[in-house]
Amino acid sequence: MSRFKDMALADNDRVFLNLDEYGEKRTVIYDSVTYADIPIVLSGMKEKDRHQLVSDHVQGLYLVSSVLHCSVRSLGGNQPEKGQRIKINDQEGGGGFFREYYVATSVCELGMLRIELEAIDE
């Protein structure tokens, strides 16, 4: 690996996923594997009106979208695939409620995953 890539990987953990700055330890479940207390950055929890189809008569549901950043190493080298489900708990220490999302997009650059997530909520 090049010196630049080595420096970028170190910066991911030391700066962006730093638990004293942006990062938080959360438990992630993907492909039936639990990754406990990994450093992540979960941002952009946005609720927006869900696009309703003409034949869809369900009201009061919203599309929740978020962006997950984490090291690909934290997920055992696995990059989540579009359309797959992923669960993330809402508090450090592995407890709390797990919210289930669908992977909308997934990109891995320099060892850092950027995963756009979507969920339907009331």
List the domains of the chain with CATH numbers: 3-121 (2.40.10)
Q: How many other C-beta atoms lie within 10 A of the C-beta of residue 28?
A: 23
Q: How many other C-beta atoms lie within 10 A of the C-beta of residue 43?
A: 11
Residue 80 CB burial class (10 angstroms; 0-12, 13-18, ≥19): buried
- Read off the pLDDT of residues 25-84 as tens digits, 9 standing for 90 and up: 999 999 999 999 999 999 886 555 445 444 555 565 667 789 999 999 999 999 999 999
Whole-structure pTM value: 0.79
